[in-house]
């Protein structure tokens, strides 16, 4: 039966109604149909978060105001809300039910606010479901929850430590921003600040005996300079070394592999060198022993020398082979560095004088590359290997220097012959001048005699 006909059970037949009555009946039917379709449309509308009236969770929280309303706007705009995932997607319940008791009934899946111990599974219910996540991005990882379980944070959480970081500690809860968004707390340039919220808090770290100066040290490091000041997003921050979901401090035996992720050649040379076995035997963290960890500074040649503040002096004393080797390697590096500086000085002097020395300046770039390579080869801790790496650079620097010497010699040659040329020109001009004067004297005598004859 047509529901519109059912609404008029006692209606007279169409033929018995006057014309105005038929029009009125049609208008009333149209209004009723519109109302029915509107109600059906509202009931079936997806919870996209576009308007507060579509979702009773949203409308109720907005009505309550203050801290109850605070989560609503961020959720509507965050990475979840923009994909149609709203309150009930995480907290369960029935967002179509206007009665609060029925909308937040556990029988309809309402879980409310999770405890810290429940958060990994709370987020993992979606983020560990490959089928569900594929709807949004097939490349998204789904192993974060299992990886978190292997982390120091995850292990302590299972043991009942509610003070550790969970998903929301880093990503937030309402108002989650995509990792690749520069405003995200886990975007590369913000990671250190996010980690420091806990790791710079002395009250939080005191029970674990963990220092709280890592963030301040990192801010002075060569890595922070590259990442934060030069905006080099490939430079490491906390999670590059410690991991993110599986965060854990590197053990001494794994430091080489951690640093070797970026510094592969150095790690390979160290692995083949004499220090590898000694460091492993003594339990010394390889790279950290010379460079430190959070406050890694620009390395300088002084590190591998016998200077009081050198890294080598930490272990080697005068008279030991390692002490002598450090001194030799420092002087090898210095010999190339000084050769480049000397060549550059001569070439710059020639260039300022207007000589063409661009080829020599270009060749110095090759010498600098050789010096950079030599500073990497230092990690072999072999004077012979370093000497082989240094030799080509010294040769290139000497060739460039010779170019500067030749240019300055040519400059002196040009200046000398310029003086000679100017002298010759001056003599020629003077000769011409004297010749003209010599020619002018007889002519002036003739003119004088002519004037005398005219006077007579």
CA distances to 313, 315, 317, 377 from 320, in Å? 11, 10, 6, 21
pTM over 0.85, yes/no: no
CATH number among 1.20.140, 3.30.1370, 1.25.40, 1.20.120, domain 321-455? 1.20.140
- DSSP states of 181-221 as a string? STTSTTSGGGHHHHHHHHHT-HHHHGGGT--S-HHHHHHTS
Per-residue pLDDT tens for 372-391?
A: 999 999 999 999 999 999 99
Per-residue pLDDT tens for 166-179?
A: 999 999 999 999 99
Give Cα 375 to chain centroid, integer Å.
25
Domain ranges of the chain: 3-44, 115-249, 321-455
**pLDDT under 70: residue ranges of the chain:** 1-54, 252, 443-456
Tokens 């991991």 correspond to 243
Report the pLDDT value the prediction gives residue 430, as an integer from 0 to 100. Answer: 87
Q: At what angle do helices 264-272 and 358-377 cross, to 10 degrees?
A: 50
């Amino acid at each position: 039966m047509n529901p519109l006909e059912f609404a008029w059970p006692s209606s007279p037949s169409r033929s018995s109604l006057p014309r105005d009555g038929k029009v009125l009946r049609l208008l009333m039917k149209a209004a009723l149909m519109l109302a029915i379709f509107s109600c059906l449309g509202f009931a079936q509308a997806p919870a996209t978060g576009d308007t507060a009236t579509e979702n009773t969770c949203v409308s109720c929280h907005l009505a309550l105001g203050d801290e109850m309303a605070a989560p609503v706007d961020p959720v509507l705009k965050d990475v979840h809300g923009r994909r149609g995932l709203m309150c009930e997607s995480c907290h369960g319940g029935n967002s179509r039910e206007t009665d609060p008791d029925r909308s937040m009934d556990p029988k309809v899946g309402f879980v409310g606010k999770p405890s810290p111990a429940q958060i990994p599974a709370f987020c993992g219910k979606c983020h560990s479901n490959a089928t569900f996540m594929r709807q949004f991005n097939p490349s998204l990882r789904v192993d974060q929850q299992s990886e978190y379980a292997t982390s120091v944070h995850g292990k302590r959480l299972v043991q009942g430590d509610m003070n550790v970081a969970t998903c929301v500690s880093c990503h937030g809860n309402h108002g989650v921003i995509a990792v690749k968004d520069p405003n995200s707390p886990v975007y590369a340039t913000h990671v250190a600040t996010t980690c420091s919220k806990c790791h710079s808090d002395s009250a939080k770290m005191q029970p674990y005996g963990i220092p709280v100066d890592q963030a301040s040290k990192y801010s002075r490091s060569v890595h922070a300079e590259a990442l934060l000041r030069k905006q080099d997003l490939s430079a490491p921050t906390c999670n590059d070394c410690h991991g993110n979901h599986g965060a854990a401090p590197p053990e001494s035996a794994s430091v080489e592999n951690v640093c070797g992720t970026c510094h592969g050649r150095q790690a390979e040379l160290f692995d083949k060198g004499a220090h590898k076995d000694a460091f492993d035997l003594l339990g010394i963290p390889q790279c950290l022993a010379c460079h430190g960890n959070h406050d890694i500074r620009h390395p300088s040649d002084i590190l591998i020398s016998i200077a009081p503040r050198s890294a080598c002096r930490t272990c080697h004393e005068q008279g030991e082979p390692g002490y002598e080797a450090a001194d030799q390697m420092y002087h090898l590096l210095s010999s190339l560095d000084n050769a480049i500086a000397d060549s550059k000085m001569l070439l710059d002097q020639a260039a300022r004088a207007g000589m063409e020395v661009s080829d020599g300046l270009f060749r110095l770039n090759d010498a600098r590359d050789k010096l950079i390579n030599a500073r990497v080869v230092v990690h072999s801790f072999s004077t012979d290997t370093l000497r082989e790496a240094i030799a080509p650079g010294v040769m290139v620097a000497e060739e460039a220097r010779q170019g500067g010497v030749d240019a300055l010699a040519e400059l002196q040659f040009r200046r000398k012959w310029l003086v000679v040329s100017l002298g010759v020109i001056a003599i020629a001009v003077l000769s011409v001048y004297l010749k003209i004067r010599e020619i002018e004297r007889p002519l002036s005598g003739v003119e004088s005699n002519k004037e005398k004859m005219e006077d007579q």
